[in-house]
Amino acid sequence: MSEQLAAMPDIQELINQVQQEAQQAEFPVDLPVYQSARLDPTFPVLYAGNLASPLCFFGRDLGRDEVHARQPLIGAAGKKVRQGFFQVIHQRTANSPQELQTVCDRILLTNTVPYKPPGNKAYPVKIKTRFRPYIERLLVLHWHGNQIITLGTDAFKWYAPYLEVGAVDQYFRRSDRYENKLVVNLTATDQAGKKYQKSVALLPLPHPSPLNARYYAAFPQMLEKRLAQVEF
């Protein structure tokens, strides 16, 4: 895999490719948020963190805080993820935003779509499909790791195309879905049309939103158990 990665364009080129795709045709974005953040709404907030990390946190899409910070998973839910990771690694809470930011040295953070939808509603399948090739390139061609903690149903079900029809739904009906793992073979095609494949382990968790009453309070303990399964 290292030889494949060495032959690929750098990450900035991938970011440019995503923006070029966004400029090809309009799609819904939360324009007021981008305007308040003074950010071009076609600019993708593709990832944050370390591409050499063995672990990726995979969310649904951006929120207001993420657009302003130019980083995925940095709003209320994202900070819960970051703080939980910091707590497990250092056995204490982070004392400042700057200290909490250091988790990006050890993890990758990204989403199904690198843009913020209007009204904070999930993007429809056609938008996820449109940007899927670029997320595939990020995960297969640029990221060196192979363990992904998905956050929420939408993030987990993004991986359905890489399995047999119904396999993701079948797994998600299991009572141990938040304790077990699911291995998938991701695929990606570079700009020259060459295809690549990579096996990753999915470790799903519920989304740590304050609106998720069923799991919000339990999320730190669930994350701690998940991180105990990760090979660093």
51-77: pLDDT as tens digits? 999 999 999 999 999 999 999 999 999
pLDDT over 70 at 7, yes or no: no
Q: How many structural domains does the chain have? A: 1
Strand order of the β-sheet with 147-150 is 47-49, 108-111, 55-59, 147-150, 195-202, 182-189
CATH of the domain at 140: 3.40.470.10
Give a yes or no: residue 161 inside a domain: yes
The two tokens of residue 111 are 């989403």
Give a yes or no: residue 232 inside a domain: no
Percent of the chain with pLDDT over 90: 93
Give a yes or no: residue 76 inside a domain: yes
Percent of the chain with pLDDT over 70: 96
Interval 12-32 mean pLDDT: 98
Domain that holds residue 29: 2-227
**Given pLDDT bands bounded at 50, 70 and 90, which one contains residue 120?**
confident
pLDDT recorded at residue 9: 59
pLDDT recorded at residue 5: 42
154-165: pLDDT as tens digits? 999 999 999 999
pLDDT recorded at residue 2: 39
* DSSP per-residue letters across 12-39: HHHHHHHHHHHHHS-----HHHHHHTT-
Give a yes or no: residue 87 inside a domain: yes
Distance CA 60, CA 79 (A): 15
Q: CB–CB of 73/21 below 8 Å?
A: no
pTM for the model stands at 0.95
Give a yes or no: residue 206 inside a domain: yes
The burial of 19, by beta-carbon neighbours within 10 Å (0-12 exposed, 13-18 middle, 19 or more buried), is given as middle
Give a yes or no: residue 51 inside a domain: yes
Average pLDDT, the chain: 95
Distance CA 107, CA 52 (A): 8
